Amino acid sequence: IQTIASTFGIPQEESEIFLFHQGRAAEHALFTQIGLWGKGLRIPSNGHFDTTRANMEANDIEADDLFIPELKKSGYHPFKGNMDLKALEKFLKNHGARVPMVYMTVTNNTGGGQPVSLKNLHAVRALCSRYQKPLFLDACRFAENAWFIKNREIEYTKRTIPEIVREVFSLCDGFTTSFKKDGLSNMGGGLLIRK
């Protein structure tokens, strides 16, 4: 638990950390509890991974993907995994009462493992704050995403990977992850929720 706190820059006393045998079990625990809040819930994302979507739908939560248009176009874009900010704001305006959280995947595995920029994450955080919604991350490829930020986002080329990781996680209210990804462990999963 100390390693989790230091890696993500979230002090142990500021969060509740739950350990599981797999990342998908952490998702199951999270969405089983959220599903108890009522019917008709919807969770927007930059791209829900298949197990995440299955865990939501098993609990009668609708999983909405808000891809940026560039994701479906050929040609280079440095951060095709970004959330469509205009679509997110419209979604929060239209469905706000039914939205328990916004859920970002880094990297965007459903979008082919495309990275998410810190600029986009900051903008999503700002919208979540404006509409009073928690921001959660599916953080299975967080280190890989940080590498892309360092190499593609000009403001962060002189920052270290750990510094970028801590800035990313300073923006969220919680996350789920598989510890098998990005070299944290050979097994296990986790759910962290800020107090």
Give the tens place of pLDDT for each residue, 158-195. Answer: 999 999 999 999 999 999 998 877 666 778 899 999 99
Distance separating alpha carbons of residues 72 and 42, to the nearest angstrom: 23
Contact status, residue 176 vs residue 16, Cβ threshold 8 Å: no
Pairing of strands 102-105, 135-138: parallel
At 85-135, the pLDDT tens digits run: 999 999 999 999 999 999 999 999 888 899 999 999 999 999 999 999 999
Contact status, residue 60 vs residue 35, Cβ threshold 8 Å: yes
| Per-residue confidence (pLDDT) for residue 5, from 0 to 100 | 83
In single-letter form, the type of residue at position 46 comes to: N
**Chain CA centroid to CA 185, Å:** 20
Instruction: Give the E-state strand segments of 7-85 in sequence order.
Output: 15-20, 42-45, 62-65
Cα 192–Cα 166–Cα 168 angle in degrees, nearest 5: 80
Of 135, 98, 142, which Cα lies nearest the Cα of 7?
Answer: 142
Rounded to a whole number of angstroms, the distance between the first and last alpha carbons of the chain is 16
Of 157, 148, 158, which Cα lies nearest the Cα of 76?
Answer: 148
| Mean pLDDT score, 66-79 | 95
% of the chain with per-residue pLDDT over 70: 98
pTM (two decimals): 0.95
| Per-residue confidence (pLDDT) for residue 182, from 0 to 100 | 64
